[in-house]
Structure 1
Amino acid sequence: MTMTGEDSEIGTDPLEPPLMAPLRRDLNWQQVQSMSQSAGYRDDPVLRSIRATAAIRRGTRMTKVLSPAQVAGHLGGWLPYGFCYRACDIAHLREPQDLALLRTDGASDGQVTFALRWRAVDPLDYEIPAAPSHPGLAALPGHSRVGAMVLGTGFTPSADDLIPEYVTAGFADLPLTANAQILASVPGGDEVILYTYQPEQHGWLRLAGPRWRSLLGEIPGGSPDREYVPCTASGSARLVGRIDDNEYEAVADPPGEFRVRALTRAARYPVQTLSRRAEQARWRGAACWVLQRDETWARLRLLRPDADTISATGARCYERGIYESWAAVDELSDHHIADIGYQI
């Protein structure tokens, strides 16, 4: 017997394979849900096999639930990072109060819940927040974390649902894909597209009609009358493609389009290779992403946060799983540019 997240059309899209479990007389849905919430089942082979069915494909729609403050950050240029979900796994959560439980910064105010939605460029950009990728997350004490605890089973804490969770690989920033969206969920179950990302212009185009303009007023610094919002912050990661011997900044529009970033449509040639480029270093023995720096100081984010690396670096938790710190540039070791290559 097979269990899926919903009985309707979920599972018909090959880019979003359904979560499945072999239900039987001695393993019903309630038992599976209970197993997903128990640390004693972190290494259970049955639960791991169930979790493995929630696969990410190139083009899978990914979602991160946001607070208004986080929306303002993404409008300014933040990239997708940290905890996120496949859109198909949370499609049944329509009311704002249900989705709000998936926020990562601990905020719970307001009657509207916002989200960022984008398409996955490659499965290698995502990891399960559990062993072996992140064995230390579940052991972090409550005083050193923000948001819900990490169970270490690969599922988000919930009394009712079975929702597989992911983190961006090493808590990395991921370049935004073309036509990414910022959404709002309002009471009654409506989902409203507020903005769509335009990579060539490096900004957000407002799509919300007059009926929904008031939602933009809930975003710090948001203006209901502004049709285009340029990203003012430079991202810490970008896509790079090659055509023959030439290198270009690239744009991904999964599942099948990877092109040169260019203002004119005629110049948007398909790239022959594609990679994600970001800056890495080690500080006090911990592997870190270098998010920004000048000649003296660097802002770092831990790739594999655990109690030891947090203690050694004094990193602060800014949202669920995200631990960052400032360090003197001359204290960094193994400082380099990392290229994560994709097969296209």
Structure 2
Amino acid sequence: MTLTPQASGIELRVGYGGAVYPAEEIARGAAYELFSADEAPGFEWSPRPGPALPWRKFVHVTEVGAVHGAAEPAEEPEAPLLVPLHRDRGWAYVHQLSQQPGAAGDPTLTAVRASAVVRRGTRMVKVLSAQQLAGYMRGWLPHGYCYREHDVAHLRTPGALAVLRGDGGGGGDDVAYVLRWRAADPVDYDVPAGAAHRGLLAMPPRDRLGPPVLGTGFVPSNAQLIPEFLTRDCADLPMPANATLIAYTAEGVEVVLYSYQAEQRGWLRMVGPQWRHLLTAVPGLSPDQEYLPTGDTPRSTQLVGGYAGTDYEAVADLPGGFRVLAMTRAARYPVESVARRLRYARWRDVPCLVLREEAGWLRLRLCRPNPDAVVGTGSQCQERGVYETWAPGAEVTDDQVVDVPYAL
């Protein structure tokens, strides 16, 4: 939870807009919550009852000046988004380019987008609706459009996070849900820009959910410059150990709801009784349930690790590394090699991922959606950029299991 400086005992002060404010660090210094006793430009009245400093503002680290009283970072910070300085080409110019699909190949925009990188252990986030949260608690895996936590740490309320939703919902909810996990390897992520992703740019509004895909690698927004990522080929990623499901309240409070326990294949409840009302909108979920297993859900992908010449199911336990997935601690060996295993196929000459198989039918997800492929396969949009359909197994060709190796 976010506390006022007086309650936390931290004497952190941050320069912003020519003044210095008491502040609280967010996401290990990726953003700050500034506090003020008096109204200041851009500050809002704090909804928390009885604060000593009643005005507050969430700001990204790139917006602040000097930071006084910050502790040494416990881990290497993420690479910031870098904008080349130029008298005529500042932030406003780059932001304008980022919102124009025709500017996807602009050298300045390309250089800015290339500065946002995913490394092993980068914290990634995906904003969810209540229905999507229920899906992940029943066994869905990370997939589709997502973001580095570092780039969006200043978005702390449901209204602010609405710009990142991919289900077509708005920002009028009292609570926003987020899945947060650590990236296992950069090879799992793609920048949604360039020729390979042009099909989504041509998708008519009737065939999509959420905001349009611009093809510049940035989120459609009139106020934010946020780089977006897409899981490669829209594939599911294995759920790493200690991934979390989080709620953000209208007051800007972060509440960790559940933590993923890899060995038990389920979500362990972390939230106390005072926050369980945040789960009332989630369909099919009892807020009093301590543990939610997902082990019976068919999995479209898994990590495979090599140890002593034998392949085992593995788990990403970052930042520590990869190990054998085992219930007993003595058997959790660090693996000597690791790869993500998934299944590809083609149907009606469209490349797809095979998600699961039921009674001779295959559930497919399009790797590179475009209007012709969507119409030809009868695919339905599940969320922004993600299209799925059912196909008779007998009609599918090039069905194969592929291992995507990670460098150790």
Separation of aligned partners in 2, 1:192 and 1:23: 38
- SS of the equivalent of 2:109 reads helix
Residue in structure 2 matched with residue 143 of structure 1 by the alignment: 206
Cα offset, 1:310, TM superposition: 1.4
Query: Does the CA contact (< 8 Å) of 2:298 and 2:356 recur in 1?
Result: no
Q: Residue 286 of structure 2 is aligned with which of 197, 207, 223?
A: 223
What do residues 9-48 of structure 1 show as CA deviations (whole Å, max 9, x unaligned)? Answer: 8xx7635211111122111111111111112211101100
Residue in structure 2 matched with residue 322 of structure 1 by the alignment: 386
Residue in structure 2 matched with residue 47 of structure 1 by the alignment: 109
Residue in structure 1 matched with residue 141 of structure 2 by the alignment: 79
Residue in structure 2 matched with residue 177 of structure 1 by the alignment: 240
RMSD between aligned residues = 1.5
Q: Residue 197 of structure 2 is aligned with which of 134, 138, 141?
A: 134
Cα offset, 1:295, TM superposition: 4.4
Does residue 99 in structure 1 map to residue 161 in structure 2? yes
What do residues 203-254 of structure 1 show as CA deviations (whole Å, max 9, x unaligned)? Answer: 0000011221111222111212111111142221111111122111001012
Cα offset, 1:4, TM superposition: 6.7
The change in CA–CA distance for 1:5 and 1:310 in structure 2 (over 3 A counts) is farther
Structure 1 unaligned residues grouped into runs of 5+: none
Cα offset, 1:98, TM superposition: 1.0
Q: Specify the code of the residue in structure 2 equivalent to 1:313.
A: T
- SS of the equivalent of 1:212 reads helix
Residue in structure 2 matched with residue 193 of structure 1 by the alignment: 256
Cα offset, 1:6, TM superposition: 4.0
Separation of aligned partners in 1, 2:107 and 2:400: 38
The change in CA–CA distance for 1:295 and 1:65 in structure 2 (over 3 A counts) is same
Does residue 271 in structure 1 map to residue 335 in structure 2? yes
Q: Residue 19 of structure 1 is aligned with which of 81, 84, 92?
A: 81
Does residue 35 in structure 1 map to residue 110 in structure 2? no
Residue in structure 2 matched with residue 237 of structure 1 by the alignment: 301
Query: Does the CA contact (< 8 Å) of 1:170 and 1:303 recur in 2?
Result: yes
- SS of the equivalent of 1:32 reads helix
Separation of aligned partners in 2, 1:125 and 1:264: 29
Count of aligned residue pairs for this structure pair: 340
Structure 2 unaligned residues grouped into runs of 5+: 1-59
Separation of aligned partners in 2, 1:21 and 1:249: 42
- SS of the equivalent of 2:198 reads coil
The change in CA–CA distance for 1:244 and 1:132 in structure 2 (over 3 A counts) is farther
Query: Does the CA contact (< 8 Å) of 1:297 and 1:327 recur in 2?
Result: yes
Residue in structure 1 matched with residue 366 of structure 2 by the alignment: 302
Q: Specify the code of the residue in structure 2 equivalent to 1:292.
A: R
Cα offset, 1:182, TM superposition: 0.1
Cα offset, 1:133, TM superposition: 3.6
- SS of the equivalent of 1:183 reads strand
Residue in structure 1 matched with residue 46 of structure 2 by the alignment: none
Comparing 278-287 with 134-143, greater Cα deviation is found at: 134-143
Separation of aligned partners in 2, 1:73 and 1:126: 22
Separation of aligned partners in 2, 1:134 and 1:40: 13
Does residue 121 in structure 1 map to residue 184 in structure 2? yes
Cα offset, 1:308, TM superposition: 2.2
Q: Specify the code of the residue in structure 1 equivalent to 2:342.
A: A
Does residue 261 in structure 1 map to residue 331 in structure 2? no
Greater RCO (CA < 8 Å, at least 6 residues apart):
1
Separation of aligned partners in 2, 1:254 and 1:160: 33
What do residues 73-127 of structure 1 show as CA deviations (whole Å, max 9, x unaligned)? Answer: 0000000000000001100111111102211111235210000000000111001
Does residue 252 in structure 1 map to residue 288 in structure 2? no
Residue in structure 2 matched with residue 342 of structure 1 by the alignment: 406
Identity over aligned pairs, percent: 51
Does residue 168 in structure 1 map to residue 168 in structure 2? no
Residue in structure 2 matched with residue 65 of structure 1 by the alignment: 127
Q: Taking structure 2 as the reference length, what is the TM-score of the superposition?
A: 0.81
Separation of aligned partners in 2, 1:207 and 1:296: 40
Separation of aligned partners in 2, 1:210 and 1:135: 47
- SS of the equivalent of 2:394 reads helix
Q: Specify the code of the residue in structure 2 equivalent to 1:308.
A: D
Separation of aligned partners in 1, 2:61 and 2:368: 31
Q: Specify the code of the residue in structure 2 equivalent to 1:240.
A: V
Separation of aligned partners in 2, 1:106 and 1:39: 20
- SS of the equivalent of 1:65 reads strand
Separation of aligned partners in 2, 1:246 and 1:257: 18
Query: Does the CA contact (< 8 Å) of 2:83 and 2:90 recur in 1?
Result: no
Separation of aligned partners in 2, 1:223 and 1:131: 44
Cα offset, 1:258, TM superposition: 0.5
Separation of aligned partners in 1, 2:340 and 2:282: 30
Separation of aligned partners in 1, 2:76 and 2:228: 19
Separation of aligned partners in 2, 1:273 and 1:313: 37
Residue in structure 2 matched with residue 158 of structure 1 by the alignment: 221
Residue in structure 2 matched with residue 286 of structure 1 by the alignment: 350
Comparing 182-191 with 133-142, greater Cα deviation is found at: 133-142
Runs in 1 of length 4+ with deviation above 6 angstroms? none
The change in CA–CA distance for 1:209 and 1:260 in structure 2 (over 3 A counts) is same
